[in-house]
Structure 1
Amino acid sequence: MIALVDCNNFYVSCERVFQPHLERKPVGVMSNNDGCVIARSQEIKDLGVPMGMPPHKMEPHIRKQCILLSSNYALYGDMSRRVTDVLSQHTPHVDVYSIDESFLSFEGFPTETLVDRCQAMRYQVRRDTGIPVSVGISTSKTLAKIANHRAKKEPGFDGVMIMEPHSNDTRAFLQQLPVTEIWGVAGRCAARLRTLGIETAWQLRESSPKHLRKHFSVVMERVVYELRGEDCIPLDDMTQPKQQIMVSRSFGRLTQNKTDLREAIRTHASRAGEKLRKQGGLAQAILVFVRTNRFRTDLPSYSKSIVVPLSHASCDSRDLVQAAMAGLEQIFKSGIWYQKCGVMLMDLCDHHNEQLGLLGEQQSDEKRQRNERLMATLDKLNREHGKNTVRLGMPRKTNAWELRCEHRTPRYTTNWKELACVQT
């Protein structure tokens, strides 16, 4: 059996752990630069605030009732890790699907004990982390997803629901479930399915898998088998090395200052190098881009990018930063108000498939090993002592590229200066 554990209103729940007064109040978490609402409590949903709504577009009487917070990704990431640690105590097979969802395998566990086991697991997660979770159980990931949704929405299941693939209850529910609610079926696919007379999950389950594969793809074929209770959608794609690595960010405010762009590009290239090392890869080129705000018609428009080849394939942040800076020098244009910049690592390979160009430089094994040890030490320090404990260069406190996060709460679990204070 497979269980999907989903943290309820995860970002909001993380905030409520350290601010209990937010319970039962309409709370929303905003995106980067406080642009729009990306996470909502049930209370703010009940007020009619949709996902993605910018705060300035809310009706004044609605806005006054809401508590809007800036994204606190350091806190959310650490709380996600803590939840996963608890889940790992109940089964050794935990596949993290996203920051707030994990698939668990309970193969070998007696089916009749799973509801009680998952209730105990759910209680421990809430006790140890403060995060409420819902659990859906079935024989396939797609049915576990559907079961999780029912566990969250239907009070009678008390947060844990097991969905037997061939039960009358499952059939009745799938007969009224639109195909748009199925994991892996996008809007365009749903429109094409309707032309074939398939509008509900049960109709899709009863369709010919081979016929659908011919009209769609192997993914749709697998969805049919999943709805029948056969687990056939692998999560391996989530852990495959990326072919490109992009790091970019919009500025907190527009800037003409070249130093702002240099600091941002240096930070982005360093972060990209960290991601590259994590997947054990090397980059052979780096793309650097800058652009203005296309919505500001009152200002000159400018968008430019450049690809800078590396002298040798590398994952060393120093090499990546040096190449990125060289690219920025070539595309920077004075007198322009910039809104965003970023980097993309390209032509990725592993250490065994490195290709040396005609003009490339071959590093000695000794130098490469020394550089790899240095980067490994840097990553370890940042992993154990907090992000940016060691970095290339120090940013100024008044730079324009820092995120606008006027309503961010403290990073209670990852920053010594922002620990929660208890008064007695």
Structure 2
Amino acid sequence: MLSVLQWFIGLGSTVFLPIIIFILGIIFGVKPAKAAISGFTVGIGSIGLNLVIGLLSDNLGTAIQVMGEHYGFSLNIMDIGCGVGGPLAFSTTLGIILIPMSLIVNLLFVMLGWTINVDIWNFWFPCFLGLVAQAVTGNFVTGILGALVAVMLQWLLADIFQKKVSEFFGYPGIAISHMMALSGALIAVPLNWIFDRIPGFNKIEADSETIAKRFGFFGDTVVIGIIIGMIVGFLAKYDFAKAAQLGMATGAVMKIMPKMVAMFMEGLMPIAEAAKEFANKRLGGRSVNIGMDAALTVGHSTVMSTNLLMVPISLALAIILPGNQTLPFGDLAFYAFGICLMIPIFRGNVVRSIVGCSIYMVSMLYLSTWLAPIITNVFKIAHYNVGTSGQVTSVLCGIWPAGLFAVATKSLGNIGLAVIGVVVIALLVYVNKIRAQKEN
């Protein structure tokens, strides 16, 4: 069984996701040919997203790393990046076991009319949190318990923010079930409440459309991308030609990313519509949201603009924050996945997004520094060689769920995780039953 699951995951998300979409389509009553086309379209959209993200990583990411080497000399813990998180998680026994366990729990949730999560790839983060629990206690059973609690926490957050996110991005019936993104959304809620009560600041209206109208040519997202790309190039000490090429590549990402997301959604919409009909017929009208990757949101103009601006901001914060030891490196090109769901909470306001995400970055830098010994131990559990670099960490893994699980297991072990699990289940019932009834 484990070898079959390893083989399936080994197919890669661009292959196993279309298969899952096809199977879901058949279950929800979509004709086989239409379900297959939906699966193929989602797969092609996923390839397109990966190509664009690869373009961003290969160009901007490389320049950012060079820039980090120039200006991050005083920091001694390397940000190895969350990109290795998925391969690491699924290379462990815990990661492979978590998949069937999660699917069983998700099947129960579907029967209750809650979210169905087809984003199997992002099971890696709940698995990572389970590995954090295991790294703290040295107990494999604690790791399994932690991973299961984390899966339910991920779905709880997806359900809490589903309406706000789907309305802002225009994705009916879709829930984003990506822990890194959802964690930021929860932080954005109190920050936005504070912003609403700051005189003057609460009057600033600066969404991407307003900026485009006010600044004309220089407010266009493509132009913003080109300018920021060139600035990063110059900070990385590139010559003009190389900086200009980087600027064009960054501008291209700003233009192409939304089109790839649109293709992704083109494939998903027939399945989402069929899921709604299925719920009406078989589940007494209870809605079933489809959980998907945060990649669907990163093409939004405010997300992309804020993501690019967070690069120099994070480096500056890393250098000036007292006590921080993390050198932003591997995650620099991928901040969009940590901040994308903060943008709907800030109502697309660019100024609020930059300020709010900067405050969030402070917490991630400190948490990633504190978690470094534990994350290094996680790599050792997975038999990854971290070389002679000492401790390693990940800025985007320095989020509150990782801190919560580390503190809970350090203080109370399995009991701490059980308490979190009971609270999460109670909140799931409230969000999906009591709150849903009030809204209807």
TM beyond 0.5: no
User: Which has the larger Rg?
Assistant: 1
Give the number of the structure whose residues are more often strand, by fraction. Answer: 1
The structure with higher relative contact order (CA 8 Å, sep 6+) is: 2
Question: TM-score under structure 2 normalisation?
Answer: 0.20
Give the number of the structure whose residues are more often helix, by fraction. Answer: 2
Question: TM-score under structure 1 normalisation?
Answer: 0.21
